[in-house]
Structure 1
Amino acid sequence: MSEARLISLTVNGETRETLVEPRRLLSDVLREDFALTGTHVGCEHGVCGACTVLIDEKPARACLTYAIQMEGHEITTIEAVSDAGLSPLQRALHEEHGLQCGFCTPGIVMTFEAFLRDTPDPGEEEVRDVLSGNLCRCTGYQNIVSAVMKAAAEMREAAGD
């Protein structure tokens, strides 16, 4: 007997319904049911950060979160980061060569979109500390740190600080 249940999730501002088993992970629902494949699944243990999404505007690992627990919460994926071109962070990652294969990039973007919203003037050490939750096998991290610092400066300037 199936324990599947119809749930309603708010993803990127849109209400979506799907039938899920209680043990079904948010990462699987996003990718398989909603075709939001920007949320990558790497380690499936919450260590690599590739599956990072925002839940109620806070970074969270979609591979550690049961979809059934997300009713009543706002989920934001990489697909919703920018409706009009690249965000300042995405642009800085491109300009500073903070991208290589791109597998880790959505998780890094989601992590730092939230971080820069809450910490508009970070120090390099703070950025490195936050970045430690996202694994990248290609870049060596320096260019990612440079990109985050550049994006922070651009965002402060745009805000008039």
Structure 2
Amino acid sequence: MNDILIRPFRPDDAPWLVEQHGRLYQRNEGFDDTFAPLVERILADFMASHDPTREKGWIAERDGVRLGSIFCVALNGHTAKLRLFLLMPEARGQGLGKRMLNTCMGFARDSGYRDMALWTHESHRAACALYRASGWQLTGSKKVHSFGCDLVEQSWEIRL
């Protein structure tokens, strides 16, 4: 795993990120074609108006091949929001997710945030286990119908 670089997100990463989110979530979760456009809007907003001193994205890559992403954005003045955390299947189970999460949380802490929050789905069991092991607390859970699926949406928080 030492050969995997976690580097800053660049605008030319956006098409790959949209494609992978759409493809993986459709294949693994049964999401419909409304999900990738949502990711595209999130990235467009980030690129157009993020505050680089308090908001950042990262891409994990090995030998120029992208393996994942994670973003830290402002939810409000003291809470950061974790967004677009994605690991390609071939990169899972090697500790890279933990490394990326620690990078994001460390940036949030160093940027003056007191807390972090995230939104995910109960079906993302490995991610939820990582959050729990990293000290995050599940703060809410509700049944929703999103992206053409019946899901259980979860909210998580951590004090930095």
Give the TM-score taking structure 1 as reference length.
0.33
- The normalised TM-score by structure 2 is 0.33
**RCO higher in structure (CA 8 A, sep ≥6):** 1
Q: Is the strand fraction higher in 1 or 2?
A: 2
